[in-house]
C-alpha cells in the first residue's frame, strides 16, 4: 500500500491547538504521514499569543529542501508564514520541487487578536504563493483583507471568491464561521464556474482555537490521497464539525478542538 504524505509549512503553537501541532494531528487522524517545516515559534496558550519568534528565512528554506530532496510529498499545506521574505522562499521551493495539491490557509490573526502576518506580506502572498496554490481557505475577515472587499452577505462572498481566483489559485473556499447566520455555518467553494455550499450546524462555543488550521490540513490530507476537491472539503467539514462538537474543555480561554473526534465517530458508525 502507498503511504500518502503531507507537508505543513507553518508556525508552532506551544499550546498544541493550532499551527503545525494541529496539522500533524489532523494528518495522522486521516492516515496521512505528516512532515513539517517551521516558520516561527510562538509562545501561545488558550488565552492568547504571548510571543512570536520567526525563524531565519534560510532555516525555513533548508527544512523544505530536506523534505524535497528525500521524502517528497503528495500535498503541501501552508499556515502562518509571517513575512514576505518567508513567503517568497516557500513559494520558490514549492515551484522548484513542482509540488501539487498546495493548500494555502492565509493565517493573519490569532483568535485572541494578535497579528500573525505582517501587513506587507499580504501582497507577497497574493503575488508569489496563490498562483502556485490549488486552493486557498480564508475565513471572512481574511478574505476581506486579501480582496479589499467588505463581505456582509453570501453574494459578497461570491464576489470575493471570484476576485481571489484571479490571483491564479484553482479553487477558493471562503469559510462561513464568521457570518451572521445564527444556526448554520456555510462554507463556500468556487471552482471558477460553479459555487458549492457545505453547511453544518453552528455550535455555540468559545473552544474553536485551531479550527482554520485543522480544516485546511484535512483538505490537504484528502488531496494527498487523490480525492477530489469537493470530497476533500466535505471530509474537512465533517472533521472540523466533529472536532468542535466533542469539546475537550482545556484551558481558560479559546480552547482547542478535539482532533480524535472524527475517527471516533467513524468507528461508532461502523
Has 162 been annotated as catalytic?
A: no
User: How far is Cα 222 from Cα 232, in angstroms, rounded to an integer?
Assistant: 5
Strand pairing of 5-13 and 195-201? unpaired
Choice among 11, 68, 212, 255 that is catalytic: 212
The active-site residue, picked from 26, 134, 208, 257, is 208
Question: Is residue 11 flagged as an active site residue?
Answer: no
- The residue behind cell 462554507 is 187
Active site residue 212: yes
How many Å is the maximal CA-CA distance in the chain? 49
Q: Which of 46, 147, 177, 213 is labelled catalytic?
A: 213
Nearest by Cα to 14 from 43, 47, 37, 40: 43
Which is the catalytic residue, given 8, 39, 78, 211?
A: 211
Give every CB contact of residue 71 below 8 A, 6+ residues apart in sequence.
5, 35
Q: Which of 175, 176, 214, 235 is catalytic?
A: 175
175 in active site: yes
Considering the candidates 210, 214, 225, 257, report the single residue annotated as catalytic.
210
Query: Is residue 172 classed as helix, strand or coil in its secondary structure?
Result: strand
Say if CB 163 and CB 130 are below 8 A apart: no
Q: Hey, which residues are catalytic here?
A: 175, 208, 210-213
Amino acid at each position: 500500500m502507498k503511504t500518502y504524505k503531507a507537508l505543513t509549512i507553518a508556525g508552532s503553537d506551544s499550546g498544541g491547538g493550532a499551527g503545525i501541532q494541529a496539522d500533524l494531528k489532523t494528518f495522522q487522524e486521516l492516515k496521512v504521514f505528516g512532515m513539517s517545516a517551521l516558520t516561527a515559534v510562538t509562545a501561545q496558550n488558550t488565552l492568547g499569543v504571548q510571543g512570536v519568534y520567526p525563524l531565519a528565512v534560510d532555516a525555513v528554506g533548508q527544512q523544505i529542501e530536506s523534505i524535497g530532496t528525500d521524502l517528497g510529498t503528495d500535498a503541501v499545506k501552508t499556515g502562518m508564514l509571517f513575512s514576505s521574505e518567508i513567503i517568497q522562499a516557500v513559494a520558490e521551493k514549492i515551484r522548484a520541487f513542482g509540488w501539487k495539491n498546495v493548500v494555502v490557509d492565509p493565517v493573519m490573526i490569532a483568535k485572541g487578536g494578535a497579528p500573525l502576518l505582517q501587513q506587507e506580506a499580504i501582497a507577497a502572498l497574493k503575488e508569489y504563493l496563490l498562483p502556485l496554490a490549488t486552493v486557498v481557505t480564508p475565513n471572512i475577515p481574511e478574505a476581506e483583507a486579501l480582496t479589499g472587499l467588505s463581505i456582509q452577505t453570501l453574494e459578497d462572498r461570491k464576489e470575493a471568491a471570484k476576485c481571489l481566483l484571479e490571483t491564479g489559485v484553482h479553487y477558493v473556499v471562503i469559510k462561513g464561521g464568521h457570518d451572521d447566520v445564527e444556526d448554520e455555518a456555510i462554507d463556500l467553494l468556487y471552482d471558477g464556474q460553479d459555487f458549492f455550499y457545505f453547511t453544518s450546524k453552528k455550535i455555540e462555543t468559545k473552544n474553536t482555537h485551531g479550527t482554520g488550521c485543522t480544516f485546511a490540513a484535512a483538505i490537504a490530507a484528502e488531496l494527498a490521497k487523490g480525492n477530489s476537491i469537493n470530497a476533500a472539503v466535505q471530509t474537512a467539514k465533517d472533521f472540523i464539525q466533529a472536532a468542535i462538537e466533542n469539546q475537550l474543555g482545556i484551558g481558560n480561554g479559546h480552547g482547542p478542538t478535539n482532533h480524535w473526534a472524527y475517527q471516533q465517530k467513524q468507528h461508532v458508525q461502523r
